[in-house]
Amino acid sequence: MNGELGRIFGGLGVGIDHPNVLLHAQSAPSLKITGEQTNLAQEIIAQFSTNYHITPKAHLHITQTIPCHSGLGSGTQLALAIAVALAKISNLQASIPELASSVGRAKRTSVGTSIFEYGGFVVDGGKNPKTNATPPLIYHQPFPEDWCFIVASPNQPKGLANSEEKQAFDQLTTMPAQDVGQICRLIMFKLLPAIAEHDIETFGAALTEIQILTGNHFAQTQGGTYAKPPATKCIKFMQQQGAYGVGQSSWGPALYAVLKQQQANTFLTKVQDHLQANTGGEAFIAKANNQGATIKVEA
């Protein structure tokens, strides 16, 4: 959010094993879409068709989707699943980043695209406004198998998306270079070494610090370091219960705590009780997905 070095944005993230998009696609005499979120699927297919000058002849059945505007990458994962399926059916040779661009993804970050392709923990190098190319993947590593997340979503308004998200970004002021430098320093010399050495305490501390710096900047548009007061209350609760690291995914309402596997069940019960006693909502345990999307081609 600074741009002084010629790039803006930049992101980091990790793939989790659920919730998922499940899509079945097969050749058909004409285009047919069934299952969940068919209206959004039609918009994605229209973008794909316009960019590749292809009229898809396929039946797409969307069995399962990720909750919309929850901070879990629902739009990117559905768009890429559809684009990959149509590319295979149409015998189109295109990379995952190219397909992402064709369906309007990776405009600010390539985190969701890289997670779809590779899984694991990823960092992108930000957007070059001169070329407008997909942000490059600059770091990728499997996430430790013995770490996990408690993902909590308080009952509160959904996160920003589409025109509201664009408006929010347009309203943001430039992030001070000092804050940008501190975030980069935390990533390079604290977060990444910790994940490489499986040091969950240092990793969690770095992640929490990065979240606070970033959240404080986005407070201009979301009202606080976290999206809403219930989110702030839940984050504090998870910290008090011994989470190694906490944060908000994208615009929320999804929040997360980083834990060791053996802590997960007890911690989950506490978070569920907290949500029930306050706003309501849901929480679940998620492990890392270190493989990316699973694509099966049947004869």
297 lies in some domain: no
Q: What's the pLDDT band for 38 if we cut at 50, 70, 90?
A: very high
User: Which of 115, 140, 165 is the endpoint of a domain?
Assistant: 140
Give residue-wise pLDDT tens across range 154-200: 998 877 777 788 888 888 889 999 999 999 999 999 999 999 999 99
Mean pLDDT of 276-281: 96
Q: Residue 68: which CATH number?
A: 3.30.230.10
- Domain holding 161, by residue range, is 143-286
Give residue-wise pLDDT tens across range 59-115: 999 999 999 989 999 999 999 999 999 999 999 999 999 999 999 999 999 999 999
291 lies in some domain: no
DSSP state of 16: B
pLDDT of residue 167: 85
How many structural domains compose the chain?
2
181 lies in some domain: yes
User: Which of 123, 140, 157 is the endpoint of a domain?
Assistant: 140
Q: How much of the chain, in percent, has pLDDT values that exceed 90?
A: 89
Is the alpha carbon torsion for 239, 242, 245, 251 positive or negative?
negative
User: Which of 140, 170, 189 is the endpoint of a domain?
Assistant: 140
27 lies in some domain: yes
Mean pLDDT of 46-51: 97
272 lies in some domain: yes
Alpha helices in the chain (DSSP H): 38-52, 74-89, 96-102, 111-118, 162-171, 177-186, 192-196, 200-222, 229-240, 264-277
How far out from the chain centre does Cα 17 lie?
12
Does one domain contain both 61 and 124? yes
126 lies in some domain: yes
Give residue-wise pLDDT tens across range 212-236: 999 999 998 888 999 889 999 999 9
Residue 294 has pLDDT above 90, yes or no: yes
pLDDT of residue 166: 82
Q: Quick one: tokens of 226?
A: 């976290």
Q: How much of the chain, in percent, has pLDDT values that exceed 70?
A: 100
Q: Quick one: tokens of 292?
A: 């990316």
134 lies in some domain: yes
Does one domain contain both 149 and 280? yes
Residue 114 burial (C-beta neighbours within 10 Å; 0-12, 13-18, 19+): buried
